[in-house]
Amino acid sequence: MPPSDTRTGNRERAILEDCQEAIGYRFKKPELLRAALTHTSSANTRAASNERLEFLGDSVLGLVTCEQLFQRFPEYQEGDLTKVKSVVVSRKTCARFSQELGLGDFLFLGKGVQTYGEMPSNMLADVFESLVAAIFLDGGWDAAKAFILEFIEPEIERVARDAISANAKSQLQTVTQRQYGDTPRYFLLDEQGPDHDKCFKVAAQVSHERFPAAWGRTKKEAELKAAMNALAHLNGESLPFPSD
Span 69-116, pLDDT tens digits: 999 887 778 887 888 899 899 999 999 999 999 999 999 887 766 655
How many separate domains does the chain show? 2
In a domain, 239, yes or no: no
DSSP annotation string for 61-105: HHHHHHHHHHHH-TT--HHHHHHHHHHHT-HHHHHHHHHHHTGGG
**Is 129 an active-site residue?**
yes
pTM: 0.68
- Please identify which of the residues 54, 58, 126, 155 carries the catalytic annotation: 58
Q: Does 209 share its domain with 114?
A: no
Q: Does 178 share its domain with 139?
A: no
Q: Does 132 share its domain with 173?
A: no
Q: Does 37 share its domain with 138?
A: yes
Among the listed residues 104, 106, 138, 107, the one whose alpha carbon sits nearest the alpha carbon of residue 41? 107
Q: Does 93 share its domain with 158?
A: yes
- pLDDT, one tens digit per residue, over 119-158 is 889 999 999 999 999 999 999 999 999 999 999 999 888 8
Query: What CATH code is carried by the domain that includes residue 81?
Result: 1.10.1520.10
Q: Does 68 share its domain with 30?
A: yes
In a domain, 88, yes or no: yes
- Please identify which of the residues 54, 126, 129, 138 carries the catalytic annotation: 129
Q: How far is CA 56 from CA 61, 116, 141, in A?
A: 9, 29, 12
In a domain, 241, yes or no: no
In a domain, 207, yes or no: yes
- pLDDT, one tens digit per residue, over 18-72 is 999 999 999 999 999 999 998 877 666 665 678 899 999 999 999 999 999 999 8
Where among 123, 145, 166 does a domain terminate? 166
| Rounded Cα–Cα distance for residues 128 and 94 (Å) | 6
**Is 58 an active-site residue?**
yes
